[in-house]
Amino acid sequence: TNERTVPVSSDTFSDWHTYTIDWKPDVLEWYVDDVLLRTLTKNSTYNATADRYQYPQTPSRLEMSIWPGGSEAEGEGTIEWAGGLVDWDSTDIKEYGYFYAQYQNITVECYPPPADTMQEGDVSYVYTSDSGLSDTIEISGNSTVLNNLEDSGLNMTSGTKVTATDDSSSSGSGSGSGSGTSSGSSSSSTKSGASANGQWAVQGSLVAAVGAVVAFSFL
């Protein structure tokens, strides 16, 4: 229900295009080739029942990849969203053996955090509540580096081995933190091996990058 289909000026396979997200505390804007195509304001997301704004406002990250949303294994709604079933007999599959995307460049420019943001450092974000609201996010000095595959953001020493002797014991302890990227801008150029896959990749990347001025160019 939150997606939009927007026009692109020329062939997304042969030509480079720049996709930009400009995410500010009160307004979120989407651009293609510097043309504003969608605007979402914070005021328009107010939910009277919940008595809060359902506007993107927590840390995010940018993910860019190709995913066969039109695979026969996906649900009907997902296939429709992806633009239909994947054509496994397409020219790209026959010539290269796979679909692909190319990015010319990606840039992310961070905005300063809101003035009322809780700040105890400059390393990571900590979610102090599961409400998903910006006033529950703290910028902390906690590390987000995990040293073991069993570690997690909630328990960064869960994979630490504990050794004990007859007269002493040692144990690891620590505090976890959620982490994410701050808002900013990014730009890149891309070539995609199939229009359907390229479309969902762009859309998926844009959604994931919410909270940033993000610009990236696809070919």
Sorted by where each begins, the domain ranges of the chain are 7-110+182-219, 114-180
Give pLDDT tens digits for 6-34.
Answer: 888 888 888 999 999 999 989 999 999 99
Strongest mean pLDDT among 46-50, 142-146, 152-156, 173-177: 46-50
Quick one: pLDDT at residue 1?
52
Local confidence band at 190 (pLDDT 50, 70, 90 cut-offs): very low
pLDDT at 129: 87
Report pTM: 0.62
Question: How many whole angstroms separate alpha carbon 129 and alpha carbon 131?
Answer: 5
Looking at residue 37, its amino acid is L
Pairing outcome for strands 124-127 and 35-41 = unpaired
8-state DSSP, 113: P
Average pLDDT value over all residues in the chain: 75
- State residue 162's pLDDT score: 55
Instruction: Give Cβ neighbours of residue 89 (< 8 Å, ≥ 6 apart).
Output: none
User: Tokens 């069993």 sit at which residue?
Assistant: 150
Say how far apart CA 151 and CA 66 lie, in whole Å.
28
pLDDT in tens, 85-141: 999 999 888 998 888 888 999 999 988 888 888 899 988 888 888 888 888 889 999
Q: What is the mean pLDDT of residues 56-60?
A: 86
